[in-house]
Chains A and B, each alone.
Chain A
């Protein structure tokens, strides 16, 4: 039970300012073999419109990939699945 909590997969919601930038990020993740899902940005994460990627995995890897491709994100929210 304890080890189950320690190894829990982390889920992140990464917000972007537009659908195009979110899809560009999704395309880059896909090319790295990482599956993501596009959602409308939840209201608690942004006041205006926007799109987010739901990403399961290591945040450092995600940040490295985005930074490497010069893709700007707005914020990241962490959830435990």
Chain B
């Protein structure tokens, strides 16, 4: 099976990640931050090393770097931990449900109101759409850095500036962007959430929340942290305040190895490779009859993610046929209903091509051949049915 569904989770993983996981399972068996014996301290040191790697990679301090289960978990902590009663939140029209659902839930609970800013092909207009929605009650702008459906990169440094000028907390969903384009807190992001298992090449069950510490994040879960144990109040310092219960030590250690892999290879090199594969794929399928590629030539920057459809068959049917031919691509709505409303692909969604650094040009050639085969067959079937 050739995996082109790396936006969901990257596979295969680098050898260094496999090795780190094995080492973690076999050597780092203590509970970090809970005991003073060597096993616990050694494990804590390995976790701290991974935490420091993540912090350095995203421009945060290690103690402001929180391990989460995934990006959705991190975003829930960020959104629910910063939203105050009566506040107004702005999200974008390309949001994944990891942002849209927690914000909608907060609204239903009467905590906040929210507005959706339309993402335009022109960055200036997008920023203006956010600016127009700001009210005196707007306390949070939460948006993706790049769409998991279309790949469009949001003008996040300009949105960050808008937030700074208006005293608004900027929460960024970096699930698709971190590891593919350079992202740091110094871009003006107050709280950055990302997945560990996507472009950072860590195992599933890992995510990160990093913060510049400007906005207090109240915990959505309390419990044992290995610190201030005689107090019933949750610690108000990070990472303990947001890391109740034993963390995924093996996942965190392996995620550290994934980040080191990305850093060693270089984000520019990774982006270049994946973008080249996307361009090859688009230029081969776009001219075909009955194919729609959801890219707008007026958009300046895209992540290496391509959505397309073969007209006449549903996205899931196309993905199913490609699976039968040995290719893993995701079809459907990609947990991003808002984004599909924006590009007019409701209810069937799209088929998504998302390469990783491990995919090759010859694998893309094979996929192109498969897509052509399905397209030709669909076209022939349509003609037969017509006559």
Q: Which residues of B contact A (CB under 8 A)?
A: 32-36, 41, 44-45, 48, 51-52, 61-63, 225-231, 235, 237, 239-240
1/0 contact string of A47-66 vs chain B (CB within 8 Å) = 11111000000000000000
Query: Closest B-chain residue to A50, C-beta based?
Result: B227
Given the contacts A23-B44, A47-B230, A17 and B33 also touching, CB distance less than 8 Å: no
Contacts A17-B237, A18-B227, A27-B52 supplied; 6 other A-B pairs, CB < 8 Å: A18-B33, A18-B240, A20-B240, A27-B48, A49-B228, A49-B229
Most B CB atoms within 10 A — which of A17, A19, A50?
A19
Q: Which residues of A contact B (CB under 8 A)?
A: 17-21, 23-24, 27, 38-40, 47-51
- Interface of B, secondary structure class, is loop
List A contacts of B227 (CB < 8 A). 17-19, 48-50
Are B45 and A23 in touch, CB under 8 angstroms? yes
Are B36 and A20 in touch, CB under 8 angstroms? no
Are B239 and A20 in touch, CB under 8 angstroms? yes
List B contacts of A20 (CB < 8 A). 33, 48, 51, 62-63, 239-240
Give the shortest distance, in Å, between A23 (CB) and chain B (any CB): 4
Q: Across the A-B interface, how many residue pairs have beta carbons closer than 8 Å?
A: 60
List A contacts of B34 (CB < 8 A). 49
Are A17 and B226 in touch, CB under 8 angstroms? no
Are B231 and A48 in touch, CB under 8 angstroms? yes
List A contacts of B226 (CB < 8 A). 18-19, 49
Query: Closest B-chain residue to A23, C-beta based?
Result: B48
Query: Closest A-chain residue to B45, C-beta based?
Result: A23
**4 cross-chain pairs, A with B, having the tightest CB-CB distances, nearest first:** A40-B36, A19-B33, A23-B48, A48-B230
List A contacts of B61 (CB < 8 A). 24
Give the shortest distance, in Å, between B170 (CB) and chain A (any CB): 22
Give the shortest distance, in Å, between B369 (CB) and chain A (any CB): 51
Assembled-state Cα–Cα distance A19/B51 (Å)? 12
Provide 26 A-B residue pairs closer than 8 Å at the C-beta atoms, listed in order of the A residue: A17-B227, A17-B235, A18-B225, A19-B32, A19-B33, A19-B44, A19-B48, A19-B226, A20-B33, A20-B48, A20-B63, A21-B63, A23-B45, A23-B48, A24-B61, A24-B63, A27-B62, A38-B44, A40-B35, A48-B227, A48-B228, A48-B231, A49-B226, A49-B228, A50-B228, A51-B36
Assembled-state Cα–Cα distance A19/B63 (Å)? 10
Assembled-state Cα–Cα distance A21/B48 (Å)? 10
List A contacts of B45 (CB < 8 A). 23
Most A CB atoms within 10 A — which of B44, B48, B227, B239?
B227
Assembled-state Cα–Cα distance A39/B38 (Å)? 10
Given the contacts A24-B63, A40-B35, A18 and B230 also touching, CB distance less than 8 Å: no
Assembled-state Cα–Cα distance A3/B225 (Å)? 46
List B contacts of A24 (CB < 8 A). 48, 61-63
List A contacts of B240 (CB < 8 A). 17-18, 20
Query: Closest A-chain residue to B241, C-beta based?
Result: A18
Give the shortest distance, in Å, between A48 (CB) and chain B (any CB): 4
Assembled-state Cα–Cα distance A40/B45 (Å)? 14
Give the shortest distance, in Å, between B39 (CB) and chain A (any CB): 13
Query: Closest B-chain residue to A72, C-beta based?
Result: B237
Are A38 and B229 in touch, CB under 8 angstroms? no
List A contacts of B235 (CB < 8 A). 17-18
List A contacts of B36 (CB < 8 A). 39-40, 51
Give the shortest distance, in Å, between B257 (CB) and chain A (any CB): 18
Query: Closest B-chain residue to A47, C-beta based?
Result: B230
Query: Closest A-chain residue to B236, C-beta based?
Result: A17
Assembled-state Cα–Cα distance A27/B55 (Å)? 14
Assembled-state Cα–Cα distance A17/B35 (Å)? 14
Give the shortest distance, in Å, between A71 (CB) and chain B (any CB): 9
